[in-house]
C-alpha cells in the first residue's frame, strides 16, 4: 500500500466522524439490495425499509438495486439518519438480464446452477458489450467453477471499459490466490485498495488469507481487523477467521474474544456449533490452566 493511501486510511479510521455512529433508515422498493460505500448492507423488507447500524457522521454513497428497476446511486450527506431512494422501472433488457444473473449466482448450489448464472451474464454482455459489472459477476462464477483462464479474461474485459475498478482487482486477487500465485494475488489486492482509496474489505480479507498461507499470522490479523473496521460488523464470519488466525498464533485469549463476537453477531451461524465446542477449552488455555499444545 502506498504511504499516501495508508495515511488517508488512518486519518479516516481515527477521525471523530468515524466514532459518531448512529442508525440509518433507507426507504425504497421492497426486497431491494442496498450498498453503502460499495459494501452490501442488506435487503429492504416487504415495506421497502432497511435499518443499518453504525453509520458514521460523514458523507457516504448509497447504491440501490431492485428487480425490474434501474439501479441508482445517491449521496448520503453527513448527519442524515433517513434516506428515501426512488427507483424508476426499466425496460433495458441488458440490465434485467444482469439482475437475473446476479440472483441466479446468489442462489446457485452446484456446478449446473453456476453455469446457468454464467450464461445469463454472457447474455447480458451480448446485449451490452460495455458492461463491466457483468464481466466481474461472470468472473466470480467462473472462479467458483475453477475456470481460471476464462475468469481472468472476464476481468481483463471489465478493465477495458473501466480501467480503475477496485472490485475487479479484488476478484483478480482471489483468482491468483486460488491458483497459488501469492505475489500476484497481493499485487492485485493492493491495487484494489489503491483504486478504492483504502476502503476495500474484500481486498483486506484476501490479503489476510494470503498472509495465512505464508504463515505470516500477525499480518493476517492486521488485515482481518482492517476488514472488520470497514464492514462495521456486517460480516460476522470475519471474526471466525480472525479467531482461527489467533489460534494459529497460540493466542487463546484473543481467539476467545473474536469467537465470542462471532457468536454475538451470528448465534445460529454456520460456524456457531463448532466454535461453542472449542470455546471452553480455549478459555482454560487463556486462563493458563493448561499448557497450549501447538
Domain count, the chain: 2
Cell triple for 211: 498472509
Q: Per residue in 34-59, pLDDT tens?
A: 988 888 888 999 999 999 887 877 78
Q: In the listed set 37, 60, 84, which residue is the last one of a domain according to the structure?
A: 84
Q: Tell me the DSSP string of 16-70.
A: HHHHSEEEEEEE-STT-EEEETTEEEEE--TTSEEEEEEEESS-EEEEEE-TTB-
pTM assigned to the model: 0.83
Distances, alpha carbon 65 to alpha carbons 88, 150, 154, in Å = 10, 27, 23
Residue span of the structural domain in which 32 resides: 22-84
Residue 22 pLDDT class (50, 70, 90 cuts)? confident
Q: Where are the alpha helices (DSSP H) in 145-269?
A: 148-161, 166-178, 182-195, 201-213, 217-231, 237-248, 252-265
Residue 139 included in any domain: no
pLDDT of residue 11: 45
- pLDDT tens digits, one per residue of 55-83: 877 788 999 999 999 999 999 888 888 99
Looking at the domain assignment, is residue 57 inside a domain? Answer: yes
Q: Is residue 137 part of a domain?
A: no
> Is the per-residue pLDDT at 150 higher than 50?
yes
Examine residue 30 and state whether it is found in any structural domain, yes or no: yes
Residue 123 resides in a domain: no
* Domain end point (choices 32, 55, 84): 84
* 214 domain-assigned: no
Mean pLDDT of 143-151: 97
Q: What's the mean pLDDT in 211-226?
A: 96
Give the integer Cα–Cα distance in Å for 169 and 202. 10
In a domain, 1, yes or no: no
Q: At 17, is the pLDDT very low, low, confident or very high (cuts 50, 70, 90)?
A: very low
Q: What is the pLDDT of residue 21?
A: 62
Among 68, 84, 100, which residue terminates a domain? 84
Confidence category of residue 107, pLDDT binned at 50, 70, 90: very high
Residue 93 lies inside a defined structural domain of this protein: no
Amino acid at each position: 500500500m502506498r504511504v499516501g493511501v495508508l495515511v488517508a486510511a488512518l486519518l479516516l479510521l481515527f477521525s471523530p466522524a468515524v466514532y459518531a455512529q448512529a442508525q440509518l433508515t433507507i426507504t425504497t422498493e421492497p426486497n431491494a439490495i442496498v450498498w453503502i460505500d460499495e459494501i452490501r448492507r442488506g435487503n429492504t423488507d416487504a415495506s421497502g425499509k432497511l435499518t443499518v447500524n453504525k453509520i458514521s457522521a460523514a458523507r457516504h454513497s448509497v447504491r440501490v438495486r431492485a428487480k425490474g428497476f434501474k439501479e441508482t446511486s445517491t449521496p448520503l450527506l453527513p448527519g442524515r439518519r433517513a434516506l428515501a431512494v426512488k427507483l424508476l422501472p426499466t425496460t433495458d433488457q441488458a440490465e434485467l438480464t444482469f439482475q437475473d444473473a446476479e440472483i441466479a449466482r446468489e442462489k446457485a448450489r452446484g456446478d449446473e446452477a453456476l453455469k446457468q448464472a454464467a450464461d445469463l451474464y454472457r447474455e447480458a454482455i451480448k446485449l451490452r458489450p460495455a458492461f463491466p459489472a457483468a464481466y466481474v459477476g461472470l468472473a466470480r462464477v467462473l472462479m467458483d467453477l475453477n475456470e481460471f483462464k476464462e475468469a481472468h479474461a472476464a476481468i481483463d474485459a471489465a478493465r477495458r471499459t473501466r480501467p480503475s475498478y477496485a472490485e475487479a482487482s479484488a476478484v483478480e486477487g482471489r483468482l491468483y490466490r486460488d491458483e497459488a500465485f501469492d505475489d500476484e494475488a497481493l499485487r492485485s489486492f493492493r491495487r484494489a485498495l489503491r483504486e478504492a482509496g483504502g476502503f476495500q474489505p474484500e481486498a483486506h480479507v484476501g490479503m489476510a488469507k494470503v498472509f495465512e498461507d505464508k504463515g505470516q499470522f500477525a499480518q493476517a490479523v492486521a488485515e482481518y481487523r482492517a476488514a472488520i473496521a470497514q464492514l462495521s460488523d456486517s460480516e460476522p464470519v470475519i471474526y471466525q477467521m480472525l479467531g482461527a488466525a489467533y489460534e494459529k498464533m497460540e493466542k487463546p485469549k484473543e481467539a476467545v474474544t473474536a469467537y465470542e463476537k462471532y457468536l454475538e453477531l451470528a448465534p445460529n451461524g454456520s460456524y456457531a456449533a463448532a466454535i461453542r465446542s472449542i470455546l471452553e477449552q480455549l478459555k482454560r488455555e487463556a486462563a493458563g490452566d493448561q499448557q497450549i499444545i501447538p
